[in-house]
Amino acid sequence: MPDEEGHPLPAEMDLRTVLHALADPLRFGVIAGFLREADGTERTCASFQLPVSKSTTSHHFKVMREAGLLRMVDHGNSRTAVLRTKELDARFPGLLDLVRAE
């Protein structure tokens, strides 16, 4: 089962849920943004400056987190998100490459 922050294990990740998460333009842009950075790059939600309110931004990150795309890391002061590259490549080989190619 997902942990207290809603992160599913790779085996629990559902392809349709992931596809739905990626189908939204803003969320797709966030994942594409991570793929343009070095693997393991951590970023705050705010750093993406999405053209929506803070609460909507939080909602989108929750969808990605619960789909298994992102992991939230607590740093005391600010929380950061990191793309679960390794786990996604193992569970859905080729998926991130498709996003990267776009």
Partner DNA sequence: CCTTAGGTTCGACTTGCATCGTACCTCTTG
Partner DNA sequence: CAAGAGGTACGATGCAAGTCGAACCTAAGG
User: For the chain, where are the E strands, in sequence order?
Assistant: 42-43, 70-75, 78-83
* Residue 73 binding: pick among a copy of itself, DNA, none (C-beta 5-8 Å cut-off by kind): none
CA 80 to chain centre: 11
Among 20, 54, 59, 86, binds a copy of itself (CB under 8 A): 20
* Residue 79 binding: pick among DNA, a copy of itself, none (C-beta 5-8 Å cut-off by kind): DNA
What minimum distance in Å lies between the beta carbon of 50 and DNA?
A: 8
On whether the CB atoms of residues 48 and 32 are closer than 8 A, the answer is no
Considering the rule CB under 8 A, would residue 48 count as an interface residue with a copy of itself? Answer: no
CA distances from 60 to 19, 20, 27, 30, 80 (A): 14, 12, 7, 10, 14
> Which region, judged by CB under 7 A, interacts with DNA, from 7-15, 29-37, 60-68, 90-98?
60-68
CA distances from 73 to 19, 41, 65 (A): 23, 11, 11
Considering the rule CB under 8 A, would residue 16 count as an interface residue with a copy of itself? Answer: yes
Query: Binding residues for a copy of itself, per CB under 8 A?
Result: 15-16, 19-20, 22-25, 28, 92-95, 97-99, 102
